[in-house]
Structure 1
Amino acid sequence: MGIGGSILLIVIGAIMTFGLDDTDLGPFNLDTIGWIFQLAGLVGLLLTLYFWNSRRRTVVRQVPTAGGTAIPPTVDEVVERRRTYEDRSY
């Protein structure tokens, strides 16, 4: 849904809840529908922020030591390896 859709649901729900004088539209109560929209927008916003936060990763560069071995990264770390001109084998 994204942040924009979540905020839109919250705004529409707030308008339906607090901005309308006539709260009944046939069998529907607009106050209740407004609260449901606000709740759905809040849940969507929290889920979007949670998934955006879980995509962040740490970039770790492996630097070879004098013995030729490097410290392996943990599970949450991304390895960045750069090849230099001397590393090419033609």
Structure 2
Amino acid sequence: MTIAGSIILIMLGAILTWAVEFDLAGLDINVVGVVLMLGGLVGLGFGLYRIRVARRAVGPIDEPVHRHEIYEEPQARRTTVYEDRRHYDEPPL
């Protein structure tokens, strides 16, 4: 469950608990709202835990980092020369 999904469950549960006054036979809407809020809180905690573990698991720190930066000279650019061949003996239009 993602963090956004958990927040949506918490909001939906809060709406059902405190804003809805509807009665169904054999179903208490307030209890359903509380259950949704608790499920959202559990999902939010799990999502935050997953983010924390993923950020921590980078790799072993004991290994030295060897960087080999290789710089190569860029190849010379080819330039294209365009010739403008005009014949001035033609009459202008």
What is the TM-score when the length of structure 1 is the normalising length?
A: 0.65
Change over 3 Å in CA distance of 1:56–1:20 after alignment to 2: same
- Is 1:47 the counterpart of 2:46? The answer is yes
Q: 5+ unaligned residues in a row in structure 1: which ranges? A: 61-71
1:84 is displaced (CA, Å) by 2.6
Equivalent residue for 2:6?
Answer: 6
1:3 is displaced (CA, Å) by 0.8
Equivalent residue for 1:73?
Answer: 61
Higher radius of gyration, 1 or 2? 2
Give the whole-Å Cα distance in 2 for the aligned partners of 1:59 and 1:9: 31
SS in 2 for 1:55: helix
Paired residue type of 1:37: L
Paired residue type of 1:34: G
> Cα RMSD between the aligned structures?
2.8
Task: Identify the structure with bigger relative contact order (alpha carbons < 8 Å, sequence gap 6+).
Answer: 2
1:59 is displaced (CA, Å) by 6.6
1:79 is displaced (CA, Å) by 6.2
1:80 is displaced (CA, Å) by 4.3
Moved over 3 A (4+): 57-60, 78-81
Paired residue type of 2:20: L
Change over 3 Å in CA distance of 1:84–1:59 after alignment to 2: farther
Equivalent residue for 1:56?
Answer: 55
Give the whole-Å Cα distance in 2 for the aligned partners of 1:56 and 1:10: 25
- Is 1:37 the counterpart of 2:36? The answer is yes
What is the TM-score when the length of structure 2 is the normalising length?
A: 0.63
Give the whole-Å Cα distance in 2 for the aligned partners of 1:80 and 1:31: 57
Equivalent residue for 2:68?
Answer: 83
